[in-house]
Structure 1
């Protein structure tokens, strides 16, 4: 009779309080990203506010938290630029980035009336979204991975969309890219779990209001509110608080998951 040797269990994963984390927020100077940056700063974390073009907004946000916030420009689609950003952040703060929030969004306007349907969809739009979502996430992960492995701790949070579960608006390019990012979230969680690194996704609906949702007609917001159990459209601040959860010690045993944060509109 053969006997199967059980794999010894590892000790509980390391968990750092939010105040001891060094957090990179891509696209962290405006829109949802600024709310996420502020949420971590409110909890005492050190935050790298990444931006592409919003230099004034990034500098102003960093100035609100001297010593704990650093504004750094980088195109997250460029692997070398991201490597340089991580090195500068580590030099500035004296230690590795522990937490990566992949929030940066390629140019996109959430206006369903202006989106191309299947017959007008072009691969250029698809490629733009995959570059900004999937390639960018791969770049930040690979740049941060050595430091996370050194610490035996890492938190990676991807920002997704509830349209993957409920594609009611023809944002084909955006939704397909986020679906690919969700698959990457799951495969990375399996690969990196032994290193003490968790990988999760938070998927929102339409937020009231960010730069990206500014073009959304008011009637759409009202319709969503009427069909949400909480009768309320999620705000960027509410969504940012949920991001904190996945980075916090309370989520230390959670990885590979997708949490939909939209007031219950979509049941995941």
Structure 2
């Protein structure tokens, strides 16, 4: 299905990487649902900039009933089911190497919170979108990961472990949903310059990353967003269960 005919739902889309993903899809002609939990003003502003192609909808991805209602509202508004889901939402996390919970002090609650955000949230959106995708015989699901589980420059234990689990989740879903014409992939960016989550990262860390990558450049949200759009495009029709690392070549796998 061409991007112009798709209805894309992006979670956590009011700001940061999610905002750039929405803008990239809108640029290619797709209709986009801007999901947000608390960033209402940012989501409304983004929708006003895009116009009729965009619909802002509030839902907590950890609340299954709210997610189901969001999908219903999207389908009613655009008169078609969601054909692409981007699981981007990041629950309450700061990339701060100084204040991060270290091995001696990190708790299971830290891990559980990130597992819920990464896995439970993705499970809810996929289950809500599956009936429409199966009916059309087409679907694109893109999960947002991280290069940190391959190259833990900073050991963000809870966040990184949850994203490693998300890759297993991605590949299991790809194996089961492929016969229905649904692909499931992951885009794993490096540390992005600069989102709300990475705002606590020091300039020294960014400079270290920049000097370590072959492209001599810190990845920006727009770079990762365009890779997400690729997985939803006809050019990726034969790709599923894959993890694309978008970090300027810092990780080569």
Q: TM-score range by the shorter chain?
A: over 0.9
What SS does the corresponding residue of 2:98 show, helix, strand or coil? helix
Structure 2 distance, partners of 1:252, 1:111, is 37
Cα offset, 1:64, TM superposition? 1.6
Give unmatched runs, 5+ long, in structure 1.
Answer: 1-15
Deviations 1:231-251 (A, max 9, x none): 000111111011111000000
Structure 1 distance, partners of 2:76, 2:36, is 19
**TM-score, normalised via structure 2 length:** 0.99
Count of equivalent residues? 253
Q: Which has the larger radius of gyration?
A: 1
Structure 2 distance, partners of 1:64, 1:121, is 41
Deviations 1:49-76 (A, max 9, x none): 0000011111111112222100000000
What SS does the corresponding residue of 2:184 show, helix, strand or coil? strand
Structure 1 distance, partners of 2:216, 2:169, is 32
Structure 1 distance, partners of 2:197, 2:51, is 28
Structure 2 distance, partners of 1:235, 1:63, is 23
Counterpart of 1:151? Answer: 136
Counterpart of 1:260? Answer: 245
Give matches, 1:108-147, under 5 Å.
108-147=93-132
Structure 2 distance, partners of 1:219, 1:166, is 18
Return structure 1 stretches of 4+ with deviation > 3 angstroms.
none
Asked if residue 107 in structure 1 is aligned to residue 92 in structure 2, the reply is yes
Counterpart of 1:13? Answer: none
Counterpart of 2:180? Answer: 195
Cα offset, 1:177, TM superposition? 0.6
Match of 2:236 among 246, 251, 258: 251
What SS does the corresponding residue of 1:176 show, helix, strand or coil? helix
Give unmatched runs, 5+ long, in structure 2.
Answer: none
Match of 2:18 among 20, 33, 43: 33
Give matches, 1:1-268, under 5 Å.
16-268=1-253
1:24–1:49 Cα contact (<8 Å) kept: yes
Over aligned residues, Cα RMSD in angstroms? 0.6
